Structure 1
Amino acid sequence: MTTQLAEAWSGGDTRLIGATVLAIALIVVLISKAKLHPFLALILGSGVLGLVAGMPVDKLIKSFSSGVGSTVASVGVLVALGAMLGKLLADSGGAEQIVDTIIARSGPKMLPWAMALVAALIGLPMFFEIGLVMLIPVVLLVSRRSGQPLLLLGIPALAGLSVLHGLVPPHPGPLAAAGALNANVGITLALGLLVAIPTVIVAGPLYGKVAARLVPDAAPPAHLVPAADQESDSDSPTRRPSFLATVSTVLLPVVLMMAKALADILLAKENELRRVLDFIGDPLVALLLAVLVGMATLGRAAGFDRARLSGSLADALPPIAGILLIVGAGGGFKQTLVDAGVGDVITRLATGANFSPLLLGWLVAVAIRLATGSATVATVSAAGIVAPLAATLDPTHGALLVLAIGAGSLFFSHVNDAGFWLVKEYFGLSVGQTIKSWSIMETVISVVAIALILPLGALL
């Protein structure tokens, strides 16, 4: 096997791998040391990759531009719709309704499990940072009222948010990876939920018990505690949507996309029901329908007039601009990798060495995550590197490759990750305590997820 690989290897392959290592190293240094925005770092890294790999300048520019365009076209609208749904959920009081209902029906022993469920439901349409800011006051309040350790409740909430962020569409990372690998979003969603549930259980309520013992004296900053009991401000809705309406709206796109995935597997192409489900279960249509339904079930139910409803939807878009730029530039980097031929070299190496594509995708994402600190950058970059491998996979294994990359992108968050510092400050932890709790929790998520994904790849 080694002899065959050596015979197939060429000087051009060495140049391509060297160009890739140099480009990734440059991106890492620019983000971690120079504190340059990932959008600019990915552009510069793509330029270095193409030039060192020997791509003509006109081809390099065209390759990067087409990658940005195709990624934003396939992912950008979905991210925008997801942000709108999340904003409606937050502004209408629907998120608070979910929290209050589940917490009210949970006994003391079930509170960690309730926090994980709340985070998972809220985390479906919301970005991690937004969900974290929303849940922190709830965690602090429930911890104080119940007398339970802060991390016993906080870790399950963080796990629920993080797992959904890394593994389940419509979050930007999984969507970007699915687009780069031409994976079926519905199948990715279905398998993502299958992997996410046991992963949240292990990394959330179960590891929460360990984290609470490792960091028993965790206490939030004093100025955050009173905020949890303050009355809602004047902009809060006068009434809230019902729990059933809220949960139904949040789960609507999930149900539609999963129905499409099942129809594609079980029904013939000529079947009329499959045609209908193929349309309404397309991620774009499913999320659009959820937003339109949410305008009535969330916005109108909260008493929003047309102006307030329009303002809420408009306010959802500015915060995602940076995410869209990073994802778009990551798509450009991915396309540059593909057009330079780097992916083909990786594919030959992996095939010749009989190396699992799922494990390879996870390892590449882990390396970039540790270096850059960004789960999104790790996801889009790793997807670009292993993209040619996806062409050889069936739809199920293509979706599992998306999940493997997503799992790798969550590995061991540390001091170069903004999420690390958010958790540290909100929970009043030292750097060492944050590593014992948050960083280890992220690693547990990553390892448990890939430990579930690899057997699924062998079985399906």
Structure 2
Amino acid sequence: MTPVHGGVLLVYALVAVAALIVLIARFKLNPFITLMIVSVALALAVGMPMPTIVKSFETGVGGTLGHIAIVIGLGTMLGKMMAESGGAERIARTLIGVFGPKRVDWAMMCIAFLVGLPVFFEVGFVLLVPIAFNVAKRTGTSMVRVGIPMAAGLSVVHGLIPPHPAALLAVTAYNADIGRTIVYALIVGIPTAIVAGPLFAKLIARHVVLPQHNPIAEQFVEDEARTADRVLPGFGITLATVLLPVLLMLVGSWADVITPAKSTLNNLLRLIGHPDMALLLAVLLSFYTFGAARGFNRESILKFTNECLAPTANITLVVGAGAGFGRILIDSGVSKAIVDVATGAHVPLLLLAWLVAALIRVATGSATVAMTTAAGIIAPIAAAATGTRPELLVLATGAGSVILSHVNDGGFWLIKEYFNMTVPQTFKTWTVCETIISVVALLLTAGLAMVV
């Protein structure tokens, strides 16, 4: 079969995405099965060699699940221990007490902004979602109103603010000053998170009503009758346990500053600062702080950690299948066609950086891949040009990298499954939230470019 090129590739990709949405939302087909079928159909349609199709899909699934499965598994265990001990309830009560029941959306955005600084979106999400479930239940607030601001805070940090790994790579590619980049990123990121988080969530929550029953939430939410007379763990020890992986990842990211490169101590800091190891150490700590210290024996702790994994199996598979679909888009040449379209356009450098990152994001589903790839494409162009601050190019690239999350993005399926949304509801909330972040951040970056 002769491979197709250019605009035809983009048409096939659009048809594939539309087919996924219709089959899952209208015909209620299993998302994992649907993603596999559409991925294979797309690969055949665009002329990929048949022997490479399954391998390409498996590569996408395996590459993502190698990280995501561990993160979801360990994060769910930590969340379960926090819920059973009453730790999630303690944090929920404290946040409600400080911010008030009517401003819990602002509370979740703020804590997500802080937690998300050194961690990938998925890690921050699994750390915070048990708290969001408890806050929503105690205040009688829609999970849309509580969860979307949390996700917005994590996403803004993910795309814009060093020391997040993708932003750091872009800083290096553009030879930008990291201190100035952080300052500019905060100037742009904070108002962006406010608009896409609490303000947008308040508006969309009126139009998106979620089911009362959420099987994922049930394992993280405290039963008020069961905990009415129980002494909850302290706020300090609860927060310390939850934030331990954040602290370890932050230390790992600054290992070269703290210790000589490639020394034993440097390697040790990098090891414990890896997201998987940081979460593992936090889970082990929770066995004491949320387990033994709260009176649970080993059998109870084993029961909690075993039971909590079953509801996450579908989430894990669907996230992996979404990555498999994204890999097919890459290997079939769709991503390259998109980049060719973007780089062929004669537009201002800031807008070009945003456009290239945005199109790669739509094609691959990964904000990190979009940001790093776009920075590699734009950096040589920027080096030959004058008049555009490299720090602002980092922000423009990051803004483009989070746009229009859809069915090939693992984050899309995390939001859908954890919040118990339908596919159309996920588009109305999460996809629009991500697009608001992208556009508002670009506009603010362009405005900043006029005054610095």
The counterpart of 2:64, out of the listed 61, 65, 71, is 71
Partner of 1:318: 310
Matched residue of 1:12: which SS? coil
Partner of 1:5: none
Question: Retained in 1: the 8 A contact 2:241–2:286?
Answer: yes
**AA partner of residue 312 (structure 2):** I
Task: Give the C-alpha shift of residue 34 in structure 1.
Answer: 2.1
**1:252 partnered with 2:244:** yes
Q: Assess, with a 3 A threshold, how the Cα gap between structure 1 residues 301 and 119 changes in structure 2: closer, same or farther.
A: farther
Alignment of structure 1 residues 368-383 onto 2, 5 Å: 379=365
**AA partner of residue 92 (structure 1):** S
Question: Retained in 2: the 8 A contact 1:128–1:165?
Answer: no
Alignment of structure 1 residues 290-309 onto 2, 5 Å: 290-309=282-301
Matched residue of 2:291: which SS? helix
Task: Give the C-alpha shift of residue 362 in structure 1.
Answer: 3.9
Task: Give the C-alpha shift of residue 307 in structure 1.
Answer: 1.5
**1:135 partnered with 2:135:** yes
Task: Give the C-alpha shift of residue 32 in structure 1.
Answer: 2.8
Q: Assess, with a 3 A threshold, how the Cα gap between structure 1 residues 121 and 259 changes in structure 2: closer, same or farther.
A: closer
Matched residue of 1:408: which SS? coil
**AA partner of residue 404 (structure 2):** G
The counterpart of 1:335, out of the listed 309, 312, 327, is 327
Partner of 2:151: 162
Partner of 1:90: 83
The counterpart of 1:23, out of the listed 16, 21, 39, is 16
Q: Assess, with a 3 A threshold, how the Cα gap between structure 1 residues 30 and 361 changes in structure 2: closer, same or farther.
A: farther
State the distance in 2 between where 1:18 and 1:443 align: 22
State the distance in 2 between where 1:379 and 1:353 align: 22
State the distance in 2 between where 1:351 and 1:387 align: 16
Partner of 1:144: none
After superposition, the C-alpha distances for 1:87-124 in whole angstroms (9 at most, x for unaligned) are 22222111111122233345789776446556778994
State the distance in 1 between where 2:24 and 2:102 align: 43
State the distance in 1 between where 2:293 and 2:77 align: 16
State the distance in 1 between where 2:251 and 2:47 align: 46
Task: Give the C-alpha shift of residue 47 in structure 1.
Answer: 0.9
Task: Give the C-alpha shift of residue 244 in structure 1.
Answer: 0.8
Partner of 1:280: 272
State the distance in 2 between where 1:264 and 1:341 align: 38
Task: Give the C-alpha shift of residue 405 in structure 1.
Answer: 3.9
After superposition, the C-alpha distances for 1:25-51 in whole angstroms (9 at most, x for unaligned) are 322222232222222222122112211
**1:356 partnered with 2:366:** no
Matched residue of 1:126: which SS? helix
Q: Assess, with a 3 A threshold, how the Cα gap between structure 1 residues 138 and 42 changes in structure 2: closer, same or farther.
A: same
Question: Retained in 1: the 8 A contact 2:335–2:360?
Answer: no
Alignment of structure 1 residues 400-439 onto 2, 5 Å: 404-409=400-405
State the distance in 1 between where 2:445 and 2:421 align: 28
After superposition, the C-alpha distances for 1:352-395 in whole angstroms (9 at most, x for unaligned) are 22563434444676x79xxxxxxxxx945x8788985465478x
Of the structure 1 ranges 256-265 and 243-252, higher mean CA displacement relative to structure 2 is found in 256-265
Task: Give the C-alpha shift of residue 200 in structure 1.
Answer: 4.0
Question: Retained in 2: the 8 A contact 1:66–1:335?
Answer: yes
Partner of 2:218: none
**AA partner of residue 55 (structure 1):** M
Task: Give the C-alpha shift of residue 283 in structure 1.
Answer: 1.2
Task: Give the C-alpha shift of residue 64 in structure 1.
Answer: 1.2
For normalisation by structure 1, the TM-score amounts to 0.66
Matched residue of 2:231: which SS? coil
**1:345 partnered with 2:337:** yes
State the distance in 1 between where 2:153 and 2:304 align: 24
Question: Retained in 1: the 8 A contact 2:76–2:309?
Answer: yes
After superposition, the C-alpha distances for 1:337-364 in whole angstroms (9 at most, x for unaligned) are 2222222222222222256343444467
The counterpart of 1:60, out of the listed 53, 63, 79, is 53
Partner of 2:388: none
Task: Give the C-alpha shift of residue 265 in structure 1.
Answer: 7.1
State the distance in 2 between where 1:310 and 1:220 align: 32
The counterpart of 1:33, out of the listed 17, 26, 32, is 26
What are the ranges of 5 or more consecutive residues in structure 1 without an aligned counterpart? 1-9, 141-149, 170-174, 224-229, 369-377, 411-416, 425-430
Runs of 4+ in 1 over 6 A off after TM superposition: 107-112, 118-123, 181-184, 218-223, 382-387, 396-400, 419-424, 437-443, 453-459
State the distance in 2 between where 1:80 and 1:456 align: 41
Q: Assess, with a 3 A threshold, how the Cα gap between structure 1 residues 391 and 113 changes in structure 2: closer, same or farther.
A: closer
Question: Retained in 2: the 8 A contact 1:102–1:118?
Answer: no
State the distance in 1 between where 2:17 and 2:369 align: 12
State the distance in 2 between where 1:303 and 1:455 align: 56
Question: Retained in 2: the 8 A contact 1:85–1:290?
Answer: yes
After superposition, the C-alpha distances for 1:121-142 in whole angstroms (9 at most, x for unaligned) are 89945388755543222223xx
Q: Name the % identity.
A: 34
State the distance in 2 between where 1:307 and 1:456 align: 57
Q: Assess, with a 3 A threshold, how the Cα gap between structure 1 residues 311 and 276 changes in structure 2: closer, same or farther.
A: same
**AA partner of residue 72 (structure 1):** L
After superposition, the C-alpha distances for 1:244-267 in whole angstroms (9 at most, x for unaligned) are 111112112122222322345787
Task: Give the C-alpha shift of residue 24 in structure 1.
Answer: 2.0
Matched residue of 2:126: which SS? coil
